[in-house]
Amino acid sequence: MKKSLIITFYTLILFFLLILGEIFVEEIGKLFKGSLFFLLPFVIFSLLGVLLIFLVLKQNIKGALKKYLSLTGVSAISFFIFVFLHNVFYGLAEISSNIILLKNLMEVLHVIFFIIAIFICPLGFLIGSINSIIVFIKNRKKDIIL
């Protein structure tokens, strides 16, 4: 396995931790508050997810590692997509406030996309990354034994 894949994977984890810090740690959040730099870690996180998927396919990774790395990459990409869709449907709900049925449909969709972005994507990222690390460790032990 090439180092570029491993570097991308661990950089993705670092950006995930930075995003968590930006959201939950007040001192880190203050650094980004009120600026466009607030979005920069999210964009880089998603781009690293795209790069991870590309490297997994290019390097012809097989088995469980492919599944877990793919889950990690797709979750990173999906977070940004679902946050964007949440905002689009929230805006459409506001625009269509005079048409009750359409407004309610848009509100349901923006809530669904919000839940996916906030709960499902990070959970998928954690499951994929933790299991990828476990497979990395198992593969390293096999290389040492052989």
CA distance 121 to 79: 6
Mean per-residue pLDDT of the chain: 91
Identify whether 55 is part of a domain.
yes
pLDDT above 80 (res 58): yes
Angle between helices 121-145 and 63-95 (to 10 degrees): 170
Q: How many CA atoms lie within 13 A of 82 on its CB side?
A: 19
pTM for the model stands at 0.87
CA distance 102 to 92: 9
Summarised one tens digit per residue, pLDDT across range 75-94 is 999 999 999 999 999 999 99
The number of distinct structural domains making up the chain is 1
CA distance 112 to 117: 9
Identify whether 51 is part of a domain.
yes
Identify whether 105 is part of a domain.
no
Q: Which residue has the tokens 């299991």?
A: 131
Structural domain that includes position 9: 3-77+121-145
pLDDT cut 90: percent of the chain above it: 72
